[in-house]
Amino acid sequence: MHLTVEQALLIYPLSEAGVIAGKSGTSRVIKSVNVMDAPDILTKCLQGVIGGLQEGKVTRLCVSNKKKRPDSLLEAYNECVGSYGLAERLGLKDAIVQFEIVELSYLFQKLPQGKMRTYCVEVLDALLNKDPEYSREMLRTLEAFIENDG
């Protein structure tokens, strides 16, 4: 018997589920199924992180920004991958890395140098052309803002 994804979604309990990605592939024939029942997955992940830290291993758990819709799963995954990569490049030792904390750094890493240079010239040069004392104070404020995760 050949069963497509679309047909399988008509059978209970899959009739209670929905497709969050790959909707154009619902006409494909199902070749295999993997089931994972992990209601306490977050607890297991955190235990793994804590256990790894106690053993001196570098274990990292990355957390995306909160998502409100199931179809945002890929976006959440990409945020976690970006957080992990950025934590590695920056040499962060944190066991748990939240995307919202490294998001600005992640954004700056993705900007082409030319665009970043243009932004700095347009924004920071205007600031630097003001009264020198005012400029120094604003740059100190900007530095404190960035250092404290804005």
Residue 20, pLDDT above cutoff 60: yes
Q: What is the pTM of this model?
A: 0.43
User: How do residues 36-89 score in pLDDT, each as one tens digit?
Assistant: 665 666 666 666 656 665 666 656 778 888 888 777 788 888 888 888 888 887
Tell me the average pLDDT across 108-123.
Answer: 80
Q: Mean pLDDT of all residues in the chain?
A: 77
Residue type, 54: Q
Largest CA distance in the chain: 79
- Alpha-carbon Rg for the chain in angstroms: 23
